[in-house]
Amino acid sequence: MPTLRVELFAGRTPEQKAQLAHELTQACVRVLGGDPSGVDVLFFDVERHDWATGGVLWHEKASQVPKQS
């Protein structure tokens, strides 16, 4: 009955989510046993203005990127 909640930056393609849901489920079944039908995966898109690391939102970090790279 494992349920996985995946918080990730918004902007992934539907194909990436489909592939990731598949691979995460396979990993659960491989390691824990059980049937794939018992595994739920939920994706939560988080915008860069809603996620901070080190006290700085990621969209702020982006705008602080030095010019040369």
Q: Does 49 bind a copy of itself (CB under 8 A)?
A: yes
Q: Does 61 bind a copy of itself (CB under 8 A)?
A: no
Q: Does 31 bind a copy of itself (CB under 8 A)?
A: yes
Q: Which residue of 37, 63, 64, 68 would you call a contact of a copy of itself, by CB under 8 A?
A: 37
**Chain centre distance of CA 66:** 27
| Closer CB to a copy of itself, 30 or 69, in the complex | 30
**Chain centre distance of CA 9:** 7
**Angle, alpha carbons 49-53-56 (nearest 5°):** 55
Residue 18 bridge partners (DSSP): none
Per-residue tokens: 3: 């349920």
Contact residues toward a copy of itself (CB under 8 A) are 1-9, 12, 14, 16-28, 30-32, 35-46, 49-60
